[in-house]
Copies of this chain bind each other. A is one copy, B any other.
């Protein structure tokens, strides 16, 4: 069976999704939506740097979905629940399933209970399912540690480390993680929320809910990683004491016990890139992905891979913790 897909939101992730979707024999792009008038009328594949496929971008949702047979909308528009809410409520009545890369939608049940309930009820009303994922949140720091607990009789504590050496990443990525900032500039960016990884809190809640743990408190603390000596960044040099990247730590507490710790570090010169999961339980599990998972490819891959899963899923707002496996399918 070929699954009919409409893409909505044709920024960098949406365009990459186009490339991945076109490589899959079981998926077919039948429509594309973007609010940017400059993209209207352009071919969705051409926007992604490929040969045109005869599917043009529309700005009008109704024109693309009304009366059409569409199975899944791939929604890559925003990172926030407040941003995505009106899009979801307008899409669901067309009876389409939705997969999204929206970080806050990966597990919104605790942070946005009212919105979650509203999405869940609307999806059930129209007999469809909504799922958001990505490499993180949505896989490495929540779903994968949960999966590993499947072979544990008991679990006392979960620690996840996602450590990335940004030395060979593109300069926009290096700037995004604060490299080259003075400490004051770094703090200003944290304050206006332009420098942060979105999702640690969602990951904490997904893990704890699925394990049957009731967290009393969560923390999400961002701090700069500072250069101990001058460091090259493209043509520039980062001075000693300036930021080479970011550290963000998510903590889940039961009473004064830290039962979940999520370490996210991305910096120029950071040693030993890895994705490591340590489960203090019976048995103990210490698993490590050498070099870490390349997020550029993985975020889009897991989104596209979840399309066949969402078509079969129970109706409602779903998360990676309550859908059947998402795997590659070629």
Which residues of A approach B to under 8 Å, CB–CB?
20, 23, 26, 135, 139-140, 143-144, 146-147, 149-155, 210-213, 281-291, 293-294, 297-298, 300-302, 304-306, 320-330
Contact = CB atoms under 8 A, between A and B. Distances in A.
A286 B290 contact: yes
A281 B213 CA distance: 36
Contact of A147 (B285, B323, B325): B325
A326 B324 CA distance: 10
Given A151-B305, A210-B329, 11 more contacts: A20-B153, A139-B150, A152-B297, A153-B304, A211-B328, A211-B329, A283-B294, A283-B298, A284-B291, A287-B288, A321-B325
B325 A151 contact: no
Contacts of A291: 284, 286
A214 to B, nearest CB: 11
Given A288-B288, A324-B324, A151 B330 contact: no
B147 A327 contact: yes
B23 A328 contact: no
Contacts of A147: 144, 147, 325, 327
A153 B330 CA distance: 9
B213 A302 contact: no
Nearest to A323: B324
Given A288-B288, A289-B285, A290-B286, A150 B322 contact: no
A326 B150 contact: yes
Contacts of A149: 305, 327-328
Contact of A150 (B211, B284, B325): B325
A324 B327 contact: no
